[in-house]
Amino acid sequence: MDTELKSMNPDPPKPEQPDPASRDDGSNSKDDRPLLKSDSNRISSTTGESIEELEKKFAAYVRNDVYGPMGRGELPLVEKVLLGIAVVTLVPIRFVLALIILVVYYIICRVCTLFSAPNRDEEEEQEDFAHMGGWRRAVIVWCGRFLSRMLLFVLGFYWISVSYRDIELPDQNKSSSQNEGKDQSEEPERLGAIISNHVSYLDILYHMSASFPSFVAKRSVAKLPLVGLISKCLGCVYVQRESKSSDFKGVSGIVTERVKESHENSSAPMMMLFPEGTTTNGDFLLPFKTGAFLATAPVRPVILRYPYQRFSPAWDSISGALHVFYLFCQFINHMEAVWLPVYYPSQEEKDDPKLYASNVRRLMAREGNLKMSDIGLAEKRIYHTALNGNISLPSVLHQKDD
């Protein structure tokens, strides 16, 4: 649940700037003109580069659907008619049904946790109900899986193509897997974490419906109405993105402990991690952070895709409000999930988590036909700033890439 709502809306340009291309933010512009046109001579006031050059440099975040950059491109007449029909039919129905599902699940979580105290870590400001056992936990998990799938159905994901790929892993991992099988012939070694590429906040709904794991989320999520309690029932690990203190080291330690616990204890909640650290347009795979691999436990890679013709469900360079609106307006949405075999690290990979992360990334890129990119969250912020015509680039460059 590692969204970057704040980074999706860079600081607005100063009011005294005369540049007409400047906008207040990604979702509240009053400029009727399209944000960007496919004109290679158009120059970004932020970087001095043409839009064509920016799209080549930041290809992992470029939107290629009919709605254009930031979802504010000039639409053809047919698309405007379809949007108009959806606004008076689909949008209100989907909004009401989605709200009902959210409220119902909140009530279920509230009832199940009514007389239970959450696990607390005051020092790290963590709190969760994921370790709660018995019938209460069973109700939370099974209702969560069912209702998250129902929410995806309401959003137009009527069918989700799920495949389990049986591939031959590299020799060192294959032998490691065989050795584990000999040592534990009755039961294979338990996973430490599920690893997935990150395309949209919709990824979270899919993984909730598939395995109901714990996620990493912004600390502010824990305080949100309805969603806050649900995130605690998931067992989310909360982080403070904007913090420049040693908090990040503490969170990394918590994640490592959770992965080890999941690996060693069958009753512990499973961790679901997005090692890229941010979302892409779905065609690329960014460098993996090592947090998911420090525990040296086996991981299960999952590749998510969102085939589309009109609107891309990827949350790459579009504001949250516009993304939800267009998603509600699209009659049918598509999702594909490819589950790869469990990846057992070799001894060399256990000794070097960076090598472990790199090898898993290469495997996912190859099996998912994804292009590997060496950019990250900092470059994403620069690209968003350039799209907005924002002149305060230095402030973006100095933001911490977590």
Query: Per residue in 366-399, pLDDT tens?
Result: 999 999 999 988 888 888 888 877 544 444 333 4
Cα 29 to chain centroid, rounded: 26
Note the pLDDT tens digit of each residue in 211-241.
Answer: 999 998 888 888 889 999 999 999 898 887 5
145 pLDDT exceeds 50?
yes
The residue that leads in pLDDT, 306 or 126, is 306
Distance CA(350)–CA(368), nearest Å, equals 24
**Residue carrying the six token digits 């709190």:** 127
User: C-alpha angle with apex 299: 297 to 304, nearest 5 degrees?
Assistant: 160
3-state SS class at 267: coil
Q: Which of 253, 256, 281 is nearest to 197 (CA)?
A: 281
Distance CA(229)–CA(109), nearest Å, equals 7
**Numbers of helices and strands, H then E, in the chain:** 13, 11
pLDDT band at 349 (very low <50, low <70, confident <90, very high): very high
Mean pLDDT of 323-339: 95
Q: Which of 2, 10, 25, 5 is nearest to 381 (CA)?
A: 10
Q: Which of 358, 363, 319 is nearest to 338 (CA)?
A: 363
Do 44 and 50 touch, CB atoms closer than 8 A?
A: yes
Cross-strand bridge partners of residue 338: 163, 303
Return the minimum-mean-pLDDT range out of 73-77, 86-90, 309-313. Answer: 73-77
The structure's pTM equals 0.79
Helix or strand holding residue 48 (H, E): none
Contacts of 28 (CB under 8 A, 6+ apart): none
Do 94 and 152 touch, CB atoms closer than 8 A?
A: no
Note the pLDDT tens digit of each residue in 24-57.
Answer: 443 343 333 333 333 334 445 545 566 778 888 8
Amino acid type, 386: A
Amino acid type, 224: L
Q: So what's the pLDDT on residue 123?
A: 59
153 pLDDT exceeds 70?
yes
Report the chain's mean pLDDT, rounded to a whole number.
80
**DSSP class of 221:** G
Distance CA(361)–CA(377), nearest Å, equals 17
Distance CA(245)–CA(236), nearest Å, equals 20
Distance CA(286)–CA(198), nearest Å, equals 9
